[in-house]
Structure formats: C-alpha cells, structure tokens
Amino acid sequence: MMDATAHVVVVPSTSSGHAIPFLQFARRLAAAGIVTTVVTSDRHVLELEKLVGSADRTAQGEPLRLLGLRDKQAHLSHEEWTRQVREVPEVREAVIRLLQEAVTDVASLQSRQLRGVPPAAPPACVVHDMFAPWAQGAAVKLHIGKHLFYVSSASLLSLALQSNRLFREGRTPITRETRDVVFSDIPGLPPISALDFPHTYLMAPVYDWFRKYHLTFQNADVILVNTFYDLEKPVLDALRNQVLGASDIQAGSIFEIGPLLPDSYVNDDTMEQEAEERDPCILWLNKQAPQSVLYVSFGSWAILSAPQLLELALGLEASGCSFLWVVRPPNATDNISAASGSSSDSVVEYLPPGFEERVKGRGMCYSGWAPQMRILKHSAVSGFLSHCGWNSILETLSAGVPVLAWPMIAEQHLNRRFLVDVVKVAIDLEANAYTKEELEGDEVRPVCFVSKQEIEKKVRILMYDAEGHFVRQNTKNLRVKAREANAPGGPSRRNFETYVRHLRDNAH
Ligand code: UDP
C-alpha cells in the first residue's frame, strides 16, 4: 500500500476578492502533492467549480476537490450567508458542526479517491480565511491544526493583531472625537491616522465583531500572508519579532507566500488565453499605442454614486488620456450582478450626455467582469486608477503598472497610505468632504467626493509628468522583486516549501 498523502481542509470566504487568492493557494498546495479539500457554502461551490474546472481535479490534474456544507442556508446570497454565520449563533454553530462532519467524514472523502493519488490521511489542519474564523472552532473541537491564510497585507494583519490591545486601552473603536488621532505603535507601520484605519475600526457595532475575529488570528498555529518580503519588509520583521503572549502565535510561524498569482502572470509576458484575447476590451487595447492607456476599475464590489460617476467621466474626458473604464451602475444593490454585467440597470444613462461619442477611439466603457490580469499585462496599459484592493495591488505591482489611488472602504485607505508613502508606487487622489449635511451625520470618516479637476490633474501627473515617471520606475523595480519572491530560492517560495514540509511531517 502506498503511504498516505498529507491532507488539508481549506475554508475560504465567499467574497470574490478573498476566494480568488484562496483558490490559487489551494491549487498550489494540490500541485505540491497535498490533497486539498476546499469546503465552503453549497452555493459558493457551484461558482468555484466554474473556476477550477471539475469537482475533483483542476484542469491541470491536481488533486483538489470542492465540498459544499449541505447547509440549510444554501438559498441565501453570499452576503446574507456570511452575515448569518457571523451574527446568528445558531447558524454559526450549525455550520461549525457541518464542517466538523465534513472533516471527520474521511470515509466519504476517501471513497471518492482521486485517480493516481495515494489515499488521503485524515486532514491535519484547517486553513481558513480571515472572514471564516468560525472554521477555527471546528479545528479546535477536532484537535487538528488551525492555520490562517491572510489574503490581505501584513500591515493590516499587524494592526489586527493589536486590535484587542487598542480596545483594552480605550483607543478603538474610533469615534468622531478621536478621528484625528495618529497611531504610532503598530508594529512595523509608520504613524497612521485613525481615518486611514479600515472602516470596521470606525463603526462601533461592526468593530466588536471584528475584534472577536482578531482573537482567532492570535490563536492560529500558523499564519500565511499573501505578500512578499521586499514589499513589506519592516512589518514582516516586526511581526516575526514580537511575542504576543503565552497562547499567541510564536515567532517563526508567520510566512509570507505571495504574490499568489498564476506563475504565468508573474513570469511570462505573453500569458495569452484564447477566450481573453477575443474579449472586446483586449481587441480595443490592441489598437492603442504602447504605454498610453489608463485602466480604471474599483474591484469586485465597490460602486460609485451617480454624481461621483458623472464627475469621474468628466475628469477622464478632460484629462485627454486614453482609458479603459470598468463601469458599474451607481447605487447597485446587487453587486454581483453589477460585476457580472447582468444588472438590469444600464450605466449609459448615468454618463454625461454625448460622453461615449466624444471619447470614441480613446476611451472605452466596459461593463461586466473584466479580464483584469490580462489587461494589466497589456503593453498599451501604463496606469491603474484603482480602489486599492489588495489583490489589485499585487496584480498591478507584478505587472509593473503604477497606481492612481482612490480608496473607498475596508482596508483600502491603509493600502493607499502604504502605496503612496512607504513604497512610493502610487499617486494620491485627494477627496473633498462631500456636503456639510453629510459631515454632520454619524459618519466617522467624512463621505468624500473627488472632483473632476482633481481627477484630470492627477491622471495627467501619473501618465505624463516626472512624478508619474518616478512612481512608474519604483513599480518596475518592485515587479522584479515580486517575480523573484516565488522564483526557485526566492523567499516566498522557500516559505511555501517549508510550509508544505510542515504539512507532510504532521500528516496523520
Ligand atoms: N477582478 C476582475 N475583473 C473585474 C473586477 C475584479 O478580474 O472586473 C478581480 C481582480 O483582478 C482581483 C479581484 O477581482 O483579483 C478584486 O480583488 P481586490 O482585492 O482588488 O478588490 P475587492 O474584491 O476587495 O474589491
């Protein structure tokens, strides 16, 4: 009989921005010969299957399988599923029980044994997403390893690991009175303003949930981070040098393994896939001059208000620059259909009259899910107006494209600070307070509005001026580091290999 192969259960969260790197992570494990079972909500499995290709193996034949939780909430949207698991104790307990059953039901997992793959041992650990901390509960009950794969930056992780201390010291959540405070004691981070904190630190009710989530980070046996050493050196060093407490993560158990992107993307300049090459936006880019186009996109779920969308259109038009803009209808309630282009709300009626005609030839408005990585790799693209989501940052740095930073929510303000002030690969877009009335409301962070003049000015700086040239050069330098990180002998690659060895050594 063949030796049993190490087996890992991976629990992503359902948002696209988290599921994409998780799937990439799961595929890397599978490619390294670790049997990898991805467990998530029933509904989410159906979507992931489209990305992976088949339920039991990837298109490349890696031993990876997808398992739904068979939960009663299968009919719910992703947002509602996540909310219920977070906020309704009975639902959370039920989901934890289902995950336990899935992990312990080795017989059923093994009965679907993969061709050519030795029988899988019982899972040695659960690797969960930051938004699926409940998965740690199942690992604790089963006495198996609890590992966190942190899909965002090490900087955000450093802040998260301090959040219970900040709470004990009465410094968070941030209030209207404390929003001007600067925090100078987050390991590895330069002084940061309270207003650059993720919105979860600024809203008391949500903050309490997240603070509890953060406790589970401290209890993880291993933390893997989707970053690379040359990008976040001071904070990674600081994280590894701190001892957080007796039961806390130990120095040496934090591994950066990023950027977790397809190898072909990071290494190969011609990652052409037939379907993408026929995509209208790629055909359009093919007709543009080299290094002339600004790519504009705000990620998988951010939506601009109608006045802001109009202002952005006017700013892009006035800049005279060529652009490819992934436009979503404003105030869409259903972000998933907006992102997939299936929303019934048309975007054209929100653009200035005659806009598309006036920018014809040099501007393209694209609705739907854009092939972002292919776009960033296109030789016509030389700037990215971005909401600063972490995946977008890793993708753009790995393509050597500098950023015009327009953060909106979550950790994007912190990411912007980091890109602009620390690694200097981005130019800041300044936002004005929107209206006096909104400022007088309960918002801790003022609702902001970016003017068309500011957009026009900064687009020109990024695309044509010396400052733009400076950040472009820095981005190109970091691109080399991103490539080296996962090349043979590179720091992220070595860390991943160490992690895989750890999994093998701990296989049951
Ligand atoms: N993305 C894409 N096409 C789109 C919008 C987004 O491929 O039209 C991908 C993008 O490449 C990235 C992810 O979706 O991998 C968005 O992740 P990010 O962390 O940047 O933003 P968020 O999901 O938080 O909005």
**Is the domain of 326 the same as that of 232?**
no
Confidence at residue 74, expressed as pLDDT on a 0 to 100 scale: 80
Q: Is 492 found in the same domain as 474?
A: no
Centroid of ligand 1 to alpha carbon of 17 (angstroms): 6
pLDDT of residue 192: 95
434 has pLDDT over 70: no
Which residue would you say has higher pLDDT here, 225 or 346? 225
> How confident is the model at residue 2, as a pLDDT?
45
Pocket of ligand 1 from Cβ distances under 6 Å: 16-17, 20, 297, 299-302, 326, 369-370, 372-373, 389-392, 395
Count Cβ atoms within 10 A of the Cβ of residue 177 and give its class: 0-12 exposed, 13-18 middle, 19 or more buried: exposed
Q: How confident is the model at residue 1 (pLDDT cuts 50, 70, 90)?
A: very low
- Best residue among 14, 15, 16, 279 to mutate for probing ligand 1, ranked by most atoms within 8 Å of CB: 16
Residue with CA closest to ligand 1 atom 23: 17
pLDDT at position 295, please? 98
Tokens standing for residue 128: 């969960």
**Phi then psi dihedrals of residue 7, to 5 deg:** -130, 135
Could you tell me which residues are beta bridge partners of residue 405?
386, 428
* CA of 392, closest atom in ligand 1: 20
Answer whether residue 194 is part of any domain: no
pLDDT of residue 334: 46
Report the b/e string of 239-268 with b at 16+ CB within 10 A.
bbebebeeeebeeebbbbbbbbbeeebbee
pLDDT at position 82 is 85
pLDDT score, position 482: 96
User: Which of 315, 259, 349, 340 has its CA nearest to residue 462?
Assistant: 315
Q: How far apart are CA 464 and CA 130, in angstroms?
A: 39
What pLDDT, on the 0 to 100 scale, is given for residue 61? 64
Domain-embedded: residue 296: yes
Q: Distance, CA 300 to ligand 1 centroid (Å)?
A: 5
Nearest residue (by CA) to ligand 1, atom 15, is 391
50 — alpha (psi -120 to 50), left (phi > 0) or beta?
alpha
- In this predicted model, what pLDDT tens digit does every residue of 134-144 receive, in sequence order? 999 999 999 99
Q: Does residue 213 lie within any of the structural domains?
A: no
Same domain (yes/no): 21, 81: yes
CB of 303 closer than 8 Å to CB of 335: yes
| pLDDT for position 66 | 84
pLDDT in tens, 245-288: 434 445 558 999 999 998 888 886 555 677 788 899 999 999 99
**Best residue for ligand 1 mutational test, from 18, 79, 300 (most atoms within 8 Å of Cβ):** 300
Q: Which atom of ligand 1 is nearest to the CA of 21?
A: 15
| pLDDT score recorded for residue 79 | 84
Contact yes or no for 478/99 (Cβ under 8 A): no
Does residue 379 share a domain with residue 326? yes
Q: Give me the number of domains the chain comprises.
A: 2
What's the 67 CA to ligand 1 centre distance in angstroms? 24
Q: Based on the domain organization, do 25 and 126 belong to the same domain? A: yes
Q: How far is the CA of 395 from the centre of ligand 1 (A)?
A: 9
Q: Is residue 64 part of a domain?
A: yes
Higher-confidence position of 249 and 382: 382
Top pLDDT among 288 and 66 is at: 288
Nearest-atom number in ligand 1 for the CA of 15 is 23
Considering the chain, what is the average pLDDT of its residues?
A: 87
Is the same domain home to 278 and 355? yes
Q: Which residues contact residue 372 at a Cβ distance below 8 angstroms, ignoring those fewer than 6 apart?
A: 297, 392, 395
Give a yes or no: residue 304 inside a domain.
yes
Atom of ligand 1 nearest to the CA of 302: 25
Judgement on whether residues 230 and 356 belong to the same structural domain of the protein? no
CA nearest to 429, candidates 296, 249, 288, 230: 296
**Residue 424 neighbours by CB under 8 Å, 6+ apart:** 470, 471, 474
Is 330 within a domain?
A: yes
Cα of 118 vs centre of ligand 1, distance in Å, is 36
Looking at the structure, tell me whether residues 451 and 495 fall in a common domain: no
Structure tokens at 125: 């650990």
Residue 234's Cβ-count burial label (10 Å; 0-12, 13-18, 19+) is middle
Q: Give the residue among 140, 128, 109, 135 at the shortest CA–CA distance from 5.
A: 109
Global pTM value: 0.92
For β-strands 254-256 and 222-225, DSSP reports them as parallel
CA 412 to ligand 1: nearest atom: 24
Distance 445 CA to ligand 1 centre (A): 24
DSSP string, 49-118: HHHHSSSSB-TT--BEEEEE---TTTTS-HHHHHHHHHH-HHHHHHHHHHHHHHHH-HHHHHHTPPTTSP
- The pLDDT of 82-92, averaged and rounded, is 87
* Span from the CA of 298 to the centroid of ligand 1 (angstroms): 8
489 with 452, same domain: the answer is no
The ipTM assigned to this model is: 0.99
Q: Which atom of ligand 1 is nearest to the CA of 410?
A: 24
Is residue 214 a part of any domain in this protein? no
Long-range contacts of 170-179 (CB under 8 A, 24+ apart): 172/197, 172/201, 172/207, 172/211, 173/201, 173/202, 173/203, 173/204, 173/207, 174/201, 174/202, 174/444, 175/204, 175/444, 176/444, 179/444, 179/445
* Among protein residues, the one whose CA lies closest to atom 13 of ligand 1: 17
Picking from 174-183, 204-213, 257-266, 347-356, which range would have the lowest pLDDT averaged per residue?
Answer: 204-213
User: For residues 239 and 154, is the Cβ–Cβ distance under 8 A?
Assistant: yes
pLDDT attached to residue 153: 97
Provide the 3-class DSSP secondary structure of residue 324.
Answer: strand
* 491 shares a domain with 372: no
Lowest mean pLDDT among 19-23, 100-104, 430-434: 430-434
Question: Could you read off the pLDDT of 25-57 as tens digits, one per residue?
Answer: 999 999 998 988 899 988 888 888 877 765 555
CATH code of residue 468: 3.40.50.2000
- What pLDDT, on the 0 to 100 scale, is given for residue 208? 87
Q: Helix 491-505 and helix 16-31: axis angle, to 10°? A: 70
Q: How far apart are CA 199 and CA 84, in angstroms?
A: 20
Reference 61, options 90, 102, 33, 89; nearest CA is 33
Residues in a beta bridge with 449: 432
Residue 421 lies in a domain: yes
Range of the domain at 120: 7-152+221-263+485-505
- Residue 240 Cα to ligand 1 midpoint, Å, equals 29
- Reduce the DSSP state of residue 302 to 3 states and report it: coil
Q: Which atom of ligand 1 is nearest to the CA of 151?
A: 19
**Residues 443 and 494 both lie in one domain:** no
Q: How confident is the model at residue 154 (pLDDT cuts 50, 70, 90)?
A: very high
Same domain, residue pair 393 and 491: no
Percent of the chain at pLDDT > 90 equals 58
Tell how far the Cα of 299 is from the centroid of ligand 1, in angstroms.
4
Residue nearest to atom 7 of ligand 1 (CA): 372
Q: pLDDT digits over 302-345, tens only?
A: 889 899 999 999 999 999 999 999 999 886 654 455 455 555 55
